[in-house]
Amino acid sequence: MKPAKLRTAVLGATGYAGCELVRLLLRHPKVETPILLTRETTTAPERLDAHYPALKGDIPLPLEPFSWELLERRGVRLLFLATPHELSRDLAPAALDKSLRIVDLSGAWRLKDSRNRAVYAFADKDKEKAERWDKEAVYGLPELHRRKIAEGRLIANPGCYATSVILGLFPLAKAGLIDRSAGVVCDSKSGVSGAGKKPTSKTHFVEVAGNFSAYSVFGHRHTGEILEQVGLEEEELVFTPHLLPIPRGILSTLHVRLQRQATAEQIQRLYHDAYNGCSFIRIFEPGELPQIQYSLYTNDCDIGFQLAPSGKRLIVVSCLDNLMKGAAGQAVQNMNLLSGFAEDDGLR
């Protein structure tokens, strides 16, 4: 007798990350066809493939009105929240009270330090409960927190920029090799899908095509994630995001001064040791640098570096697909860990 497949639901499937998540779940060998939920009320039934015709096929993809009763009746065990930060902040505690496990793709539960979390200006209805889940939520970066994720109930999927920067810096920070007094400069560029599906004057085709711009300088929401996970202080980090005129993909260029002189072979060994056994980290040979095109439509994070002749200055380049390793792919990776599946199930 075959084991029962995992029953999941996705709230927010009509967004770019939500749709990518559904696409991955539909091909996952150990997951039932997910229940697709919407907070919108319409007079006529909706289907996800009406929003994304590329999903048309033999499997019906109805969008059903969200209700706790529906989740209970359909036997859902894991709920993905691909929702705005404020909505995830409101729904997750209620879902946890109903013994559901949560993988939240928003920024609602990523930050432990209230000073970093202040950028979201959350107005919690039950501050005591929210504070408790702030402490218990697990930052869902498997390469750093695999064991905690497997034992968790509320998994906070990391931000896309933050994933690229943290994975690029973590081996150096772990080894105490970063000269923090010199500061770390993170120069990151993302495709337009990272801004979400709702159009704005800044993401309109006319504004983006043939253009390149910086935004949210000294104020981006992913800054706190980098500080907390890498172990830096605010004054030790300069993180500047940029908008590329492409649909998807992230390239982060990380400028680091080293505490002590190192060789390229030592740096290479450091990264291989830190990510030994990690299915989705690809370390390039010294001097070979990743490009966005190499990791598109995969759950891989590509990392390469160039060491200065002095052996004291290092440039690290980290690339990933913001809708995959930066969002939906990483969410499936976290679901696999929560459920005892192979970490790369449904992702290769």
Tell me how far CA of residue 238 lies from CA of 133, 164, 326, 334, in angstroms.
Answer: 29, 15, 20, 29
124 lies in some domain: yes
One pLDDT digit (tens) per residue for the chain, 348 residues: 567 899 999 999 999 999 999 999 999 999 999 999 998 655 556 899 888 888 888 788 999 999 999 999 999 999 999 999 999 999 999 999 999 999 999 999 999 999 999 999 999 989 999 999 999 999 999 999 999 999 999 999 999 999 999 999 999 999 999 999 999 999 999 999 888 777 777 788 888 888 889 998 999 999 999 999 999 999 999 999 999 999 999 999 999 999 999 999 999 999 999 999 999 999 999 999 999 999 999 999 999 999 999 999 999 999 999 999 999 999 999 999 999 999 999 999
Claim to verify: residue 181 and residue 140 sit in the same structural domain: no
226 lies in some domain: yes
Claim to verify: residue 30 and residue 113 sit in the same structural domain: yes
1 lies in some domain: no
62 lies in some domain: yes
How confident is the model at residue 308, as a pLDDT? 97
CA distance 331 to 140: 8
Residues 6+ apart with CB under 8 A from 264: 286, 287, 305, 307
CA distance 249 to 292: 6
Claim to verify: residue 106 and residue 236 sit in the same structural domain: no
Give the active site residue among 19, 160, 301, 319.
Answer: 160
Claim to verify: residue 292 and residue 318 sit in the same structural domain: yes
Into how many domains does the chain fold? 2
Claim to verify: residue 66 and residue 108 sit in the same structural domain: yes
Claim to verify: residue 60 and residue 83 sit in the same structural domain: yes
Residue type, 191: G
Token reading at 231: 């172990």
347 lies in some domain: no
Claim to verify: residue 14 and residue 151 sit in the same structural domain: yes
Claim to verify: residue 335 and residue 297 sit in the same structural domain: no
Claim to verify: residue 275 and residue 333 sit in the same structural domain: no
Nearest by Cα to 186 from 151, 209, 216: 216
Claim to verify: residue 27 and residue 95 sit in the same structural domain: yes
Tell me the HSE value of 328 on the side-chain side, using a 13 A CA sphere: 30
CA distance 62 to 36: 7
Nearest by Cα to 190 from 204, 206, 203: 203
CATH number of the domain within which 313 lies: 3.30.360.10
Domain span at residue 138 reads 8-158+327-339
Q: Is 186 a catalytic residue?
A: no
Claim to verify: residue 190 and residue 149 sit in the same structural domain: no
344 lies in some domain: no
Claim to verify: residue 256 and residue 117 sit in the same structural domain: no
196 lies in some domain: yes
220 lies in some domain: yes
Query: What dihedral do alpha carbons 138, 139, 144, 146 form, nearest 10°?
Result: 40
How confident is the model at residue 208, as a pLDDT? 85
Tell me how far CA of residue 84 lies from CA of 137, 169, 225, in angstroms.
Answer: 17, 28, 17
pTM (2 d.p.): 0.95
Q: Which residues pair with 6 in a beta bridge?
A: 31
